[in-house]
Structure 1
Amino acid sequence: MSGGQVPAWSSRLVIQLVRGLPGTMRVHRGTVAALGLRRRHQTVFRENNPSIRGMINHVKRLLSVETEEMYNARIQAEAKRKALRFPRIIQHSPPPRT
């Protein structure tokens, strides 16, 4: 990639707050609020542009960031792993007659 072009496949970012806000600087709390995050493990979708990336870089130790494609693939893999399995059917032979 040249010239700072953003690839088409990463047009949206999935941002999750993974660390708590108590004890952080007021400016960091404001940046997290501007991203639309209010509580831990909350996830938001934001457009991938320089202003959002700058905000993410400012509070990167508090966040988890991935592209929308990576997020969808991870969710599908988790759903597939947690999918219900078919029940095991065990057929016993009838008891012997005497």
Structure 2
Amino acid sequence: MNAFKAFKANVPIAWSPNLYITLVRGIPGTRRLHRRTLEALCLRKCNRTVMRWNTPTVRGMLQQVKRLVVVETEEMYKARKQKVEQHVALQPPLVVNHLPAPSSASAS
């Protein structure tokens, strides 16, 4: 099963006050009505996320373009962003010392 399909199947959007909507599929080749719906949601480029209030109007628009978008609740969005930030976080630099190690026992 596709990761996005599994992700979308488990989203409880009925109780969340805010919805984070991400466009994950391209607009070219879609129906004019779907393009207009995405334009109304202010989704113009792939992998862009917008926040919308959870209203029946917005849920109807999402139902229309559900194969093009991923819907997240606020908690899911923050968890995903935090995971991405931790993944991209800078690691301490690796210091390589090319000098010979000092010997503790001196030659007698």
TM range (shorter): 0.7 to 0.9
Structure 1 position 81, deviation (Å): 2.5
Question: Given the two structures, how large is their TM-score scaled by the length of structure 2?
Answer: 0.72
Question: 5+ residue gaps in structure 1?
Answer: 1-5
Cα RMSD (Å) of the superposition? 2.3
| Corresponding residue of 1:3 | none
| Corresponding residue of 1:94 | 102
How many residue pairs match? The answer is: 91
- CA distance in 2: counterparts of 1:25 and 1:48, whole angstroms: 24
Question: 5+ residue gaps in structure 2?
Answer: 1-13
Identity rate of aligned residues, in percent?
48
| Corresponding residue of 2:73 | 67
- CA distance in 2: counterparts of 1:51 and 1:34, whole angstroms: 11
- What secondary structure does 1:61 align onto? coil
Question: Given the two structures, how large is their TM-score scaled by the length of structure 1?
Answer: 0.78
Range with bigger deviation, 81-90 or 68-77: 81-90
- CA distance in 2: counterparts of 1:13 and 1:60, whole angstroms: 13
